[in-house]
Amino acid sequence: MGIDLQTLLFEFLGGLGIFLLGIKFMGEGLQKTAGERLRDILDKTTSNPFLGVLAGMIVTILIQSSSGTTVLTVGLVNAGFMTLRQAIGVIMGANIGTTVTAFIIGIDLGEYALPIIAVGCFLLFFFKNQKVNSIGQTIFGFGALFFGLDLMSSGMSPLRGLESFHDLTVEMSSNPVLGVIIGTLFTVIVQSSSATIGILQGLFSEGAIDLQAAIPVLFGDNIGTTITAILASLGASVAAKRAAFTHVIFNLVGATIFLIGLDLFSQFVYYLQGQLHLNPEMTLAFAHGSFNIANTVIQFPFIAGLAWIVTKIIPGEDVTIEYKPKHLDPIFIQQSSALALEQAKAEVIRMGEYACIGLEETNQYLFTQQQKHSEMAMQVEGALNNLDRKITDYLVEVSSGSLSELESAKHTALMDSVRDIERIGDHFENIIELIDYKISNKVELTEQAKEDLNNMFDLTILTVKQAVKALDQMDRQEALAVAQKEDQIDKMERKYRKKHIIRMNEGLCNGSAGIVFVDIISNLERIGDHAVNIAEEVLGE
C-alpha cells in the first residue's frame, strides 16, 4: 500500500500548528477574560501549600500551560512575593491543571470544530467590546484545538500500516524507558505537553499504539514540559532557578515511581476504561490526570524536603526585591505616633535605597542591553509602587491620631518624600521603555551621546543616593550638597541638549536617536528634581 508521505506530513504538521495556535489563543483569551486576577490568585492563595496546589491548578487551566504558570511563579518568587516552599505547591498544582487539556480533547468534538471556530471568529470580528473579543478568542482557540487535532490524527492514521512504526510501538511496550525518552524529546521540541498528549491520544484512538506503550510517553511529556521553565529561569535569580529545578525533580521522581509500578498503573487504567466506558482519548486523559494527581499526593508531604534539596543543588544568596514592607507595624499607631513615624521613615529609606538600585540597573541596561537588568529594574519599580501604597496608607492611619506640631511636620515630609521616590521609579521606567525602543528599532547613539548619558546617569545616581542619605540622617550639609548637584544636573541637561542639536545639524546623529537621547536626559533631569524635593524636606523649605 502506498502512503502519500507529503499529505501525511502536511496534515500532521499543519494540524500541529493549528493545535498549538488554538492552545495559545485559548490561553490568551482566558487570561484576558480573567484579567489581572491571575497574579492575585497566586499571591493571595499561596499561604499554605495545599491552597498553592489549588491556585496552580486554576491558573494553569486558565492559561493552558503548566510552563506558563511555572514562569509566573518564578516571577513571583523572584519578586519576593512567594517563598520557594509556596512555589513548589503551585508547581504541583500546575502539573494537575495541565491535564485538563487532555480531558477537553477527550470530549470528542472533532466534527464540531469548524462551527466552534466560526462562532469564535464572529465574536472576535463583529464586536468592539473587549470582553466579548476575549471570549471569542477563547472559543476560537477551543475550536482550533479540535480542528488541529482532527488534521493531525488523519495525518497519522496511515502510520498503523507502517511496518517500522509498528515495530517501534512494540519496542516501546517492552521497553518503557524508550517511551519516556520519546515523550520527553518530543515535548522539548514542540514546547507543549498538551500537544504531545494530543498526538498520543490521536495515535491511540487510531489503534496505532497500545496502552502499554502510550503510558510511558505520558510520563516523558511531563518531564519535557519542564524545559520551558528551565529556559525561563536561565537569566533569572537564584530563587527562580530553584523553582524551575523543583519542577524537573518533581516530574522526574514521579516518572521513576510510576515506571517501577507500570504494570499496576496500566491495570488501573484498563479498569477505569472498563468501568467508565471511556473512549480512547478519554482513557489517556484519565491516565494522565491520575498520574499527576497521584504524583502530587505522593510528593506533597515532602515539599520541605524538595525545597531543601534544591537549595543544596543551587546554592547562593537570593537577591530578591521584597515587595512587602518590613517596618510598618500597625501596633505602633495606637501606642506612639512618634515610634510609628520612625517605622514609616525606615520604610521610606528602604524605598529610597530601592530607587537607587533601580536607577543603577537602568544605567546597566542602557550600556549592556542585557534583559536581566531591565527585569530587575522593573521589579524594583513594582516594589516602589507597592511600598508607595502601603507607606501612604500607614501614614494616613498615623495622622488620624493626634500629632504634635513637630510630628505633623515630619509626617508631611514623609508623605511628600514617598511621592517623590515613587516618581523617580516612574522616570526610570520611562527610560527603560526608551531603551527598549532603542533596541527594537536598532537606534544607534553616537559615542559622544553615550558618554554624555553616562556622565549624567552617574551624577543623577549620586544625587539620589545623597538625598536618601540626607533624609536618613537628617543631615543639612548633605541636603545642601544635593541642591548643588541638582544645579549641575540642570546645567548638564541644557549643555547636552545644545551639543545634541549641533550633532543633529552636522548630520552625525539621526532623528530617532535624538528623540531617545533627549528624552532620557530630560527624565534624568526630572529625577534630579525629585531628589532635591527630598533634600528640601530635610532643610525644611
pLDDT at 35: 57
pLDDT at 34: 66
- The DSSP secondary structure of 379-435, one letter per residue, reads HHHHHHHHHHHHHHHHHHHHHTS---HHHHHHHHHHHHHHHHHHHHHHHHHHHHHHH
CB–CB of 344/414 below 8 Å? Answer: yes
H/E run at residue 524: helix 511-539
Tell me the angle at which helices 238-260 and 226-233 cross, rounded to the nearest 10 degrees: 160
Q: Distance from first CA to last CA of the chain, Å, rounded?
A: 92
Look at residue 496 and tell me whether its pLDDT is greater than 50: yes
Look at residue 120 and tell me whether its pLDDT is greater than 70: yes
- 500 CB contacts (<8 Å, ≥6 apart)? 449, 452, 509, 514, 517, 518
pLDDT at 145: 81
Look at residue 112 and tell me whether its pLDDT is greater than 50: yes
Query: How far is residue 22's CA from residue 28's CA, in Å, rounded to a whole number?
Result: 10
pLDDT at 266: 87
Look at residue 15 and tell me whether its pLDDT is greater than 70: yes
pLDDT-derived band at 302 (thresholds 50, 70, 90) equals confident
Look at residue 453 and tell me whether its pLDDT is greater than 60: yes
User: For residues 235, 227, 189 and 145, what is the CA-based torsion angle, rounded to 10 degrees?
Assistant: -110
* Residue range 513-533: mean pLDDT, rounded: 89
Query: How far is residue 295's CA from residue 313's CA, in Å, rounded to a whole number?
Result: 22
Q: How many CB atoms are closer than 10 A to CB 317?
A: 8
pLDDT-derived band at 235 (thresholds 50, 70, 90) equals low
* Residue range 339-365: mean pLDDT, rounded: 88
Segment among 70-74, 117-121, 411-415 with least mean pLDDT: 70-74
Tell me which of 363 and 23 has the higher pLDDT.
363
Any long-range contacts for 33-39 (C-beta under 8 Å, 24+ apart)?
A: 33/131, 33/134, 33/135, 33/138, 34/62, 38/62, 38/63, 38/72, 39/72, 39/76
pLDDT-derived band at 450 (thresholds 50, 70, 90) equals confident
Q: What is the DSSP letter of 323?
A: -
Query: How far is residue 489's CA from residue 526's CA, in Å, rounded to a whole number?
Result: 9
* Residue range 468-491: mean pLDDT, rounded: 89
Q: Indicate the average pLDDT of the chain.
A: 82
* Residue range 202-226: mean pLDDT, rounded: 81
Q: What is the DSSP letter of 445?
A: P
pLDDT at 1: 45
pLDDT at 38: 65
* Residue range 426-451: mean pLDDT, rounded: 88
Look at residue 541 and tell me whether its pLDDT is greater than 80: no
pLDDT at 427: 92
* Burial of 442 from C-beta contacts in 10 A (0-12 / 13-18 / 19+): exposed
Segment among 36-45, 95-104, 248-257, 495-504 with least mean pLDDT: 36-45
Query: How far is residue 34's CA from residue 191's CA, in Å, rounded to a whole number?
Result: 24
Residue type, 150: D
H/E run at residue 129: none
Kindly report the three-state secondary structure assignment for every residue of 241-255: HHHHHHHHHHHHHHH
* Burial of 126 from C-beta contacts in 10 A (0-12 / 13-18 / 19+): exposed
* Residue range 378-393: mean pLDDT, rounded: 86
CB–CB of 102/60 below 8 Å? Answer: no
Look at residue 43 and tell me whether its pLDDT is greater than 80: no
* Residue range 326-335: mean pLDDT, rounded: 74
* Residue range 34-53: mean pLDDT, rounded: 69
